Amino acid sequence: MAMHEFSLESLIELDGGRVPVAFNQAVVRLLKDCEDRPNDSKARKVTVELSLKPIGDEHGNLDEVKGSFKVKDTVPERETKEYSFGVRKRSGQPVLVFNDMSDDDVNQKTIDD
């Protein structure tokens, strides 16, 4: 059994390096999103959260500390342009409708009308 002093660098030794692997996978997901949407200049983020929970002994002294990690990646939401919808009634219930020839003005008349 080898004891390691906890540090960012020593995480590679903990649980087969799962935390650094999760971090690297999150970075790859962010890069893929950057490739997919290069014109969306909003930031992509990776967050590594460490939670520590003290465990006391029967005398009220610190016995050990339980720790866990959360690796979270965040990409900007995908958002479309604004569309124009109309409201009609079908069987007494309101329904949304749109004009497939003019998605920015539901009331726009076209040659087809």
Q: Tell me the average pLDDT across 13-31.
A: 97
The amino acid at residue 94 is P
Nearest to 27 by CA among 9, 48, 4: 48
Confidence of residue 98 (pLDDT cuts 50, 70, 90): confident
Confidence of residue 113 (pLDDT cuts 50, 70, 90): low
- Looking at per-residue pLDDT, the higher value among 106 and 39 belongs to 39
pLDDT per position as a tens digit, 38-72: 999 999 999 999 999 999 999 999 999 999 999 99
Instruction: Report d(CA 84, CA 108) in Å as an integer.
Output: 10
- Looking at per-residue pLDDT, the higher value among 70 and 112 belongs to 70
Instruction: Report d(CA 92, CA 25) in Å as an integer.
Output: 51
Nearest to 31 by CA among 49, 46, 12: 46
